[in-house]
Amino acid sequence: MTSIVKARGLKKSYGKFEALRSVNFDVERGRIVGLIGPNGAGKTTILKAILGLTSFDGELEIFGLDPQKDRHKLMQKVCFIADVAVLPRWIKVSQALSYVEGVHPGFNRSKAESFLAKTKIPLDKKVGHLSKGMTTQLHLSLVLAIEAELLVLDEPTLGLDILYRKDFYQELLTEFFDENRSILVTTHQVEEIENLLTDVVFIKDGELVLNATMDDVSERFVEVMVAKENLEQALQHNPISRREVFGRTVLLFDGLSMEVAETLGEIHRPSISDLFVAKMRGGDEA
């Protein structure tokens, strides 16, 4: 596969605070990568570096371009949706279409109008009079009408109700994603995007603690609800997490064979959110 984002030894400090500590990762073409971490972990700093919005140390290439030196070229291939809408409140929807059409050569106005026709957003209404959900739909319509190859999403559905959130991600899969385009998304609503992801990256205190494909995750990690008589034996296999559920001990293992796991108790495949909690806490969760 072809890497469209390539980071090697990526570092960023704010005074004595190290926001990123020698981070290495790739985003390959035709992948949906979830960048997941708690507040202050370094997610937004990575996105800013990719978008050419902050300086950094180390190596970072986006489509072979330096985001600091070649930002103009880069932004013809990359689109960005943040958790806070940046559209001015005084502008009308039709004016927003005209503005983007005037500044971005890859914008397809008819395509944007087609997206908006599926919503209840009137073209003559000001952005400031739109609901949070409508503003996000407008932003999405503008972005999806640009022929970008990488879509960067930073908490894109924050504050939206579940119907808008599901529609948002369905629209992404239907109208944007294909084998030639990639999506990099950060979110706290891990459960909602788990089935969309092809790759997952966990970051904690500026360092990556997991960087794997979803196939690798499925093969590597196993959760076992251990019978009492097997607990001492199970603990000898060095679980990465332990928690109590309704009086039963649940252990999470990295690399434990299925043959061994089956002898210890009831087997489950951990969800990404369970795996995330285990990686962040790094021990007992009881």
Q: Which of 282, 274, 216, 214 is nearest to 250 (CA)?
A: 274
Residue 85 near residue 139, CB atoms below 8 Å: yes
Q: How many domains does the chain have?
A: 2
| CA max distance for the chain | 70
pLDDT at res. 85:
56
pLDDT at res. 249:
93
Residues 138 and 224 both lie in one domain: no
Residue 285 has pLDDT above 80, yes or no: no
Domain containing 25 equals: 3-213
Per cent of the chain over pLDDT 90 is 61
Q: Tell me how far apart the alpha carbons of residues 225 and 248 are, in angstroms, rounded to a whole number.
A: 7
Gap between the terminal Cα atoms of the chain = 41
Residue 286 within a domain: no
Residues 207 and 252 both lie in one domain: no
Residues 76 and 98 both lie in one domain: yes
Residues 121 and 145 both lie in one domain: yes
Residues 223-229 have a mean pLDDT of 92
Residue 12 has pLDDT above 90, yes or no: yes
Q: At 104, list the tokens.
A: 């971005």
pLDDT at res. 106:
85
Residues 206-235 have a mean pLDDT of 94
Residue 79 within a domain: yes
Stretch among 49-53, 160-164, 193-197 having the lowest mean pLDDT: 160-164
CATH number of the structural domain spanning residue 84 = 3.40.50.300
Residue 69 within a domain: yes
pLDDT at res. 262:
93
Residue 32 has pLDDT above 80, yes or no: yes
Residues 110 and 241 both lie in one domain: no
**7, β-bridge pairs:** 25, 60
Residues 175-189 have a mean pLDDT of 88
Q: Which of 213, 232, 258 is the last residue of a domain?
A: 213
Residues 240 and 195 both lie in one domain: no
Residues 190 and 277 both lie in one domain: no
Residues 202 and 225 both lie in one domain: no
Residue type, 281: R
Residues 205 and 222 both lie in one domain: no
Residues 214-239 have a mean pLDDT of 94
Query: Model confidence over 43-70: pLDDT tens digits?
Result: 999 999 999 999 999 999 999 999 999 9
Residues 42 and 105 both lie in one domain: yes
Residues 99 and 61 both lie in one domain: yes
Query: Model confidence over 76-129: pLDDT tens digits?
Result: 899 888 765 567 889 999 999 999 998 888 899 999 999 899 888 999 999 999
